[in-house]
Each structure stands twice: as structure tokens, then as C-alpha cells.
Structure 1
Amino acid sequence: MSYLFLLPCYHLLTTISNFNKVKQFKVIYIVIIALIITSCKEPYAPNLTKTNNNLLVIEGFINTGADSTLINLSKTVLVDNKNTASPELNATVTVESDANNTYLLKDIGKGLYVSAGLNLDNSKKYRLRIKTSKGTVYISDFVEPKVAPPIDDVVWDIKDDGVQIYVNTHDNTNNSKYYRWEYNDTWEFQAEYYSMYISNGKDVVDRNQLTDNIFTCWAGGKSSNVLIGSSIKSEKDIIHKSPLTFIPTDAEKISVKYSILVKQMVLTKDAYDFWERLKKNTENLGSIFDAQPSQLTGNVHNAADLSEPVIGYIGAGTTQTKRIFIAKNKLPSWTRKYPYACYPLDSIFIISPKTGSRDEDKFFHTKIMVPIEEIKINNVIVAHKGTTKECGDCTIRGVNKRPTFWD
């Protein structure tokens, strides 16, 4: 570990040390030394490289069971680049066995290559072959498929500041030891206001709540952190409460109902070491005492140039999944934080009493605002209360079609 960060404080430390010879300054000396150690650090702003080597990044897993195989190909981008991904398009991707069988993956665009369940022989070894649109060939090492045991439970604990979700699993044969998880989560949420009406372009009419409800929607996401666990230091192959994700008390995800689908894979020792390095490099940095970045050497290589770095590790095997639901009534009475600022409803008149113009044409028929409820005078509708689409229409950030798996 380098101690260069203390150099700006050297002269001050030398001066202060003289105080120690005098008894009455002993307390002052201790206090000042503590302040120096915690504050005499100069900020470090690294120079970001302006050279993009366009390294190939390979994400995926050869599923030898009934589940689909999905491979994502992209190229590295500069840290300060506004684009977060540069997909590798129009490549040819195949799975190969050590028995000379090949299985072509379908190019579905955006750097994604997929195959339905391959149902492969787990006694064989498998690798991935990639031929880019420019003709460059990349090949992964042959790997032994690992058969994943079932997930025992996906459990959750209520904390003071939210909900922590964990996974439990075990392998009675003691053959797994190294695990990795991914998840997809889905949540039901609601708009701030319930819209009873809709504009047909000419008039504001009753909304069909069966086919066009914009109050209740569903949204989803997927894991972004590296989720791994190992039982190698235990006598039994058991994983107990390995953390998956944490949801704060005010998150919209748990404002109505939340669901998480966890996928479990078993890794080889080499694959686990790769994912562990990746986890340290991407999640555990931030202080001088943290692990420093290491070379992410995977098992994929340029067939014509072994010196070219390739980012990614291709494993193979079966997967196991498990889904749970968390309903709002199972949680404390937490208050959600709505993602937009919503103000009291505005009154939009059919004919403005001030200007005589048709305000509904301006706000509702142009879809700038959403009509919420009617305003009557002498039993005649003269206006509707309205709000912004962000506050009255959940479909701007979700879908109003109930998922088929929704409980």
C-alpha cells in the first residue's frame, strides 16, 4: 500500500512531534495527529484514457438444459462516453461440443444471440465460437457442464430501512461449491391519480377501465451486480442467506406487490475466480484500503491473436429458478416516494370563462394532460380536472397488461 497521500502533511507532522516533549501538550498532540491522519489527503483525479481499444465483451452462459441460451456481444466504450453499450452486430455464434456437434444461435439484433433449450449431453464439454461481421474468430475454452441443484428458498427480512432478499440452496452430493445467481424482478405500481376519462380527440369521454386502465401498471428490471457464493470453506455444500438485493422502504417496487425470479447456476473454480475478480473490480473499490483492479482474464480468445484481451467467461450447465412474491400487506406501513412531483389537479374548462376558447382542445386532446374527474355546474359537465401524464398515466414507464405469471 502506498503512503504518498501523507506527504503533504510531512512538515506539519514534524513540527507537531516536538510538542510531545512537553507534557502539557500531550493531549493536543494526540488530537491533532488523529485529525491529520483522517484529513491530510489530497484528492486524486485520474486521467481517463482517450483511446478506446474496442475490446470484445461476451456475456452469457451455455445452458445445457431446457432453458434458453442467451449470449450478449458488445464492444468496450470510453468511460466518459454517453453511450453505455456498443453492441456487436451481425456476428455468427455457435455452440460446439467436444464430439464435433454444433448448434447455431439466432441473431435477434442489438448484439443478442439466442437459442431455445438445447438439451445437451452433460457428459460432453462445450465451447462458444464467434465470428464477427469483419471475419474475426473468437473461441472459448471447452468447459465441463455443471448441473445446478434446486434453489431451497428465496427469503426476505424486514429491516428498519427496507427489505433484504436472500437465496438459500444446498447440494447433498457436495459437487457444486461455487454458485452464481441472476434475477429478474417485476413490480405492480400505481399512478398518483386515477383517470376516469379519456380524450377521443374531440371530446372527453368515459374511459374503458377494462381495456384502457392507466392507473395500475407493471414494470421490471434485472440484476446488475455480480451475485456469487461459495461453500468451499464449509464441511457441507450449503449456502444460507446469500444476499441478492435490497429494496428501500420508500421504493415504488414494494408499494403494491413485488416479485423476483431468481436463476441459479453452478460454476467451475476458474469461472468463480473470474466472477470474484469482476466483483472486486466493479463493486468493492472506493478507498485506499480496497482491493486494486486486476486483469480480467477470461476463457475466450482471438483464434488468430492470443495476445488480444477479450472480456468475459463462458460457462455451461443447467440452471434452476424460483419465484416469490411480496405483497404490501406483508410489510410495515411504509410510504412510497413517487418519482415525479405531482401538484393539485387543474380545472380545464370545455369553454374557458375568461377567453372563450376551448381549453380541452389545448390540454386534453393534444395529450399534454390526462383528464381525471368531471366538474359539473347545475348537473352539466363544464370542465374536467386534469394532471400531467407523469402523474396520471402509469403506461409512460410500465405496461398495463397483467403478466401471465402474476399471482
Structure 2
Amino acid sequence: MKNRIIIGFISILLYGCIEPFEAEFVDFESALVIEATITNEIKQQQVVLSRTYRFEDEGPTAESNAIVSVSDDMGNTFNFQDTGNGVYLSENAFAAQSGRSYQLSVTTVDGRNYGSDPTQLTAATSIDEVNAVRITNDDGVDGVAILVDSFDSTGNSKNYRYEYVETYRVIAPTWNPTSLTGAPEPGCDVIKIPNTTDEQICYPTSFSNKIILTSTEDLEEDRVSDFMVHFISRDNYIISHRYSILVKQLVQSNEAFTFFKTLNELSGSESLFSETQPGFLQGNVSSKENANEIVLGFFDVSSVSEKRIFFNFDDFYPGEALPPYVEPCVPSAPVIANMGGCVLRPILEIGAGIYFGDNGEPSENEGPYFIVPRVCGDCKVLGTTEVPDFWIE
């Protein structure tokens, strides 16, 4: 049962990274999962609470209405508010301070109390450079590597974890100033109107969803050189027009680094069910009342450095064709109606299709209008139209 819990825990922390596995278990015990990294950034700090879940379930269950706080050894307490989906944000912005010890406290809605070991902020080390370089990776794929350099002359950092946030401009390839909609009167007819709802240019954002670690423990100096935190295939549409990535470097304690390293090893498909797999991945959070209760997760207090870069597709592939769009955008021409009733109008009303152009010579099984998937003519499917504050052309 403990093995099953730890596998479910990995799926929560790396949700979306692992292929679905069809299985059903009879014996199952829900365990609290705590994800918390407090940093030296002045911001609303975040704690995420969830529950392990069965393989047949769609995903983790958020732990709602808990009382969450972080206290330091100077008598300060920082309270957190439930913002939904298991995400708790500190009521006020604060930053972890060097030399102070911090502890996490969680009381769930059923009155159970949990806490972390006292944890101190790690040494601060800044990112020196983030570079984008065209490479062919080990799988023979042409693309752009995001590389990081950093150096700690004191040699006190050594353990590094990386996260990134990528934002990119998307241009809907078949956006049209004209739109199709249902006619005012009931029935199957559709009419053309000016397009006032669909957007051509958007700025989606996505976050890293894997554990990225490196250590300089066995090196002569505490230097990270050309460490690849991300690789983007040449055929990935996100680099078609303009791309930006914010790389975050978190310095970790030996305990935190070991925890995340073990978790990363367990996330491999070959190791999940290996005979050498440990039954329980011990973190630094536990029940205050029941030493035998399984609690999963780690309360990490890390110093952070970050750096952002931009690049265009032409910077690495001048004069070459752009990557294929996220959707093939092949037009079709559904009939207005058939013996079963309306055909085109319901497609438009549920947002499954969007106007592409007129079908000048429809065949017997075609209608007078071409449509494409909505994402092809309305980029809002992918992200916001608002230009980010940090965006630089």
C-alpha cells in the first residue's frame, strides 16, 4: 500500500509528465501531500496541499479549508489563505531571511495537525548567464537548448534545482475578419458577421513540470557551466514568432536535494515498480499526533536567482519555414443540414469550428463554407491576448 501511495505522490508532483497507467487497487489510504518552497523573494509565498489518489482517478484531490502558516524563530508568523485548488498563498508578501529558522504548520479541516522540521535559508548564488544555443540533442533532434551558467566562489551552494516559465507569441494562422454564427431565427441557417470575438495574436504561458537538478559536489569548484535546463525542438510551434523563458535557480540544502533527486529517480517508468524501490520517500513533514501516519512532501527554504532571455525563430533558422502549427488546420465543409437535422450550426455554437472561407464549388456532400478547428483562427484557446509587462520586441 505504501508503494502505491508513493507512486500516486509522484504523479501529483509531476502531474502530466507520466503516461497514464490503467490499474485498480482495492486497498487504498489517502495521504496528505505537501508542496512548499519558501524563497528569499519578497512575494506571496505558496503552499500546495493535495491528497494521493487512485490510478483510476483523473488526478489529485485538492485539500481545501486547511489552516496553513509559516513561523520563524523570531516569533513571526505568516498566515496563508486558501485560494482554491489546494493552493494557499501568504496573506502578506514576505521573504525568507538568512540565519533564521522556519517551520510550516498545517491543520486540515478534520482537525489533524502537521508540521515540518526547522529549516533555514540556503546560501544565495546568482545566475551568471542564460543562453539559447542551437544543438542536435542525444536523440538526434534539432532544436534550441536553454543553458545556464553560475558560480559560487565560496563553494557553499553546490546543490541546484531549476524551474522555468516560458511565454511565447502565437499568431493564429487562419484568423479571419469575418465570422459565421447562427441566424437570428430558429433553424439551421448561418450568417456572416464581422469578427469581434476571435483573436489573432496571443501570449500563452507554460511552466516547467519536471524536476531539474544538478550538483557541483564532485567538481573542483562550485561552478555550473552550460547546464541544459530545457530543450525545444525545431518543430515546436512555440518558437515560431517570438519566445521568452524565465529561468529560476534554487539553491537547495543537502536534505532537499536528496529528496528531489530520489523523487526524480522514482518518476522514471522503469523504476516505479522496480524491486529496489523504497516503500516510502521520507521528507521533512510529518503528523504532530501520529508518528505512523504517512505524510508526503518537503518544506523547502531556498534562495532564488532568475534571469530572462528572448529569441526569435530567425535567430537560429534564418530563411527556413516556420514549425508546424499546434493544429494541422485542414479545412472541411460540413453541410448546413442533413436528414438528421442541423450540422454546421451546432459545430459553430459549441466552438468546435470557426469560419475559414467560402466554398465556391461545393460537392454533393459539402456545404458552402469552409471551417477549421477554433484554435486555428482564435488563439485565445491557447492563452491570453494581453501583452506581458516584461515583453520586449
Equivalent residues of 1:196, 1:371 under 8 A apart: no
- 1:53 matches 2:29: yes
Provide closer, same or farther for how the CA distance between residues 133 and 286 of structure 1 changes in structure 2, counting only shifts above 3 A. closer
Equivalent residues of 2:38, 2:96 under 8 A apart: no
Structure 1 residue aligned with 2:154, among 173, 191, 207? Answer: 173
Secondary structure at the aligned position of 1:318 is classed as: strand
Alignment of 1:38-187 (within 5 A): 49-78=25-54, 80-115=55-90, 116-160=92-136, 161=141, 162-187=143-168
- 1:340 matches 2:315: no
Q: Any unmatched runs of 5+ in structure 1?
A: 1-44, 377-382
Secondary structure at the aligned position of 2:83 is classed as: strand
Equivalent residues of 1:226, 1:279 under 8 A apart: yes
Structure 2 residue aligned with 1:370, among 334, 344, 354? Answer: 354
Counterpart Cα distance in 2 of 1:131 and 1:159: 49
Per-residue deviation, 1:204? 2.2
Provide closer, same or farther for how the CA distance between residues 285 and 164 of structure 1 changes in structure 2, counting only shifts above 3 A. farther
Per-residue deviation, 1:159? 2.3
Secondary structure at the aligned position of 1:312 is classed as: strand
Equivalent residues of 2:168, 2:244 under 8 A apart: yes
Equivalent residues of 1:131, 1:137 under 8 A apart: yes
Counterpart Cα distance in 2 of 1:307 and 1:338: 51
The root-mean-square deviation of aligned C-alpha atoms, in Å, is 3.4
Structure 2 residue aligned with 1:268, among 247, 253, 263? Answer: 253
Counterpart Cα distance in 2 of 1:267 and 1:63: 11
Provide closer, same or farther for how the CA distance between residues 252 and 231 of structure 1 changes in structure 2, counting only shifts above 3 A. same
Q: Which residue of 2 aligns with 1:204?
A: 192
Which structure: greater helix fraction? 1
- 1:303 matches 2:303: no
Deviations 1:268-299 (CA, angstroms, capped at 9, x unpaired): 111111111111111373599x8942331100
Q: Which residue of 1 aligns with 2:211?
A: 226
Counterpart Cα distance in 2 of 1:118 and 1:204: 53
Q: TM-score by structure 2 length?
A: 0.78
Per-residue deviation, 1:331? 2.4
Q: Which residue of 2 aligns with 1:19?
A: none
Per-residue deviation, 1:342? 2.7
**Greater length-normalized contact order (CA 8 Å, ≥ 6 residues apart):** 2
- Which segment drifts farther, 47-56 or 104-113? 47-56
Per-residue deviation, 1:243? 2.1
Provide closer, same or farther for how the CA distance between residues 359 and 89 of structure 1 changes in structure 2, counting only shifts above 3 A. closer
Equivalent residues of 1:148, 1:264 under 8 A apart: no
Equivalent residues of 1:281, 1:292 under 8 A apart: no
Per-residue deviation, 1:96? 1.0
Counterpart Cα distance in 2 of 1:201 and 1:46: 42
Per-residue deviation, 1:359? 9.7
Equivalent residues of 1:195, 1:370 under 8 A apart: no
Provide closer, same or farther for how the CA distance between residues 130 and 365 of structure 1 changes in structure 2, counting only shifts above 3 A. closer
Q: Residue type matched to 2:307 in 1?
A: K
Provide closer, same or farther for how the CA distance between residues 48 and 205 of structure 1 changes in structure 2, counting only shifts above 3 A. closer
Larger radius of gyration: 1
Provide closer, same or farther for how the CA distance between residues 63 and 235 of structure 1 changes in structure 2, counting only shifts above 3 A. same
Q: Residue type matched to 2:324 in 1?
A: K
Counterpart Cα distance in 2 of 1:305 and 1:364: 56
Structure 1 residue aligned with 2:201, among 209, 212, 216? Answer: 216
